[in-house]
Amino acid sequence: MKLHRINALLLKYYYITINRVDRLFDIIYWPILDLFIWGFTALFIQKLSDVNVLSMLLGAVILWVFVWRASKDIAVFVLEDFWSRNLYHLFSSPVKLSEHLVSIIIIGFLRALTTFALMWIVGIVFYSFNILTISPLLIAFSVFLLTLFGWAIGLFVAAFIFRFGQRIQVLAWSVTFLISPFACIFYPLSVLPGWAAKIAIVIPPTHVFESFRAMISGTPVNQAGLIYSLISSILLFIVMAFFLEQSFRKSKKTGLLAKGD
């Protein structure tokens, strides 16, 4: 891996971000909109309950951004090269797949941090909710776990794109939505019916959000759950990276990389 090539790709993704209004827009618009919707909903529910609903819901919305951003950015930046038929030039240059991914991961993380910062400020200004007062260490660890899981999902989608081309691009937008009902973002695992709970318990983010809620309500954090989340996210990331590598090789065999469609 060469740093100058990663820098070059970071420059490219920076240019894409500043040149395309929609790419700039999705750092700000949707997350802030989400925060307002959930914020007002939480304010309403707060009046009916003693539980700190506002912190739970707003904190969950802010943390989920990392899964959503991490996965979507990998997939969309890969798709971006398909859309502009630019893969041909990119991969006939000395760029390696690993350098391509590292650059996407870095730019994705920077974009996620920007969104996080904006949501953090909006949370403080409009709802007097400062997520960092909960437990900076737990929040940082949660961000790491959720981002890692998001990257794994992003790699999975990118692998499918390299294998089947743009026709499965809908996955880029839908996979995180598909997972979200089982990730227990806004509600505890205990409310899910048996069959759904069986799925939810194996999904790494479930344990992150369970711990987050425990921290807010002052109950003990399930450390085993967090360790499971860490190990499973790392394993998932490795497996998906391997899957992507295989798909990339396959695209060289089938000619999809050269045709770029």
Chain positions contacting another protein, by CB under 8 A: 2, 4-5, 7-9, 11-12, 15-16, 19-20, 80-81, 83-89, 91-95, 249, 252-255, 257-258, 260
Q: CB-wise, 83 or 141, nearer to another protein?
A: 83
Q: CB-wise, 19 or 128, nearer to another protein?
A: 19
Query: To the nearest whole angstrom, how small is the minimum distance from the Cβ of residue 171 to another protein?
Result: 22
- HSE on the CB side for 249, CA within 13 Å? 6
Query: To the nearest whole angstrom, how small is the minimum distance from the Cβ of residue 69 to another protein?
Result: 19
Cα–Cα distance for residue pair 140/121, rounded to 1 Å: 17
Query: To the nearest whole angstrom, how small is the minimum distance from the Cβ of residue 3 to another protein?
Result: 11
Query: To the nearest whole angstrom, how small is the minimum distance from the Cβ of residue 11 to another protein?
Result: 6
**Both structure tokens of 168:** 């499965």
Q: Where are the alpha helices (DSSP H) in the chain?
A: 3-19, 21-46, 53-83, 87-92, 97-127, 136-164, 170-179, 194-202, 204-217, 223-254, 256-259
Q: CB-wise, 72 or 213, nearer to another protein?
A: 72
Q: CB-wise, 198 or 249, nearer to another protein?
A: 249
Nearby residues of 116 by Cβ (< 8 Å), 6 or more positions away = 62, 65, 66, 143
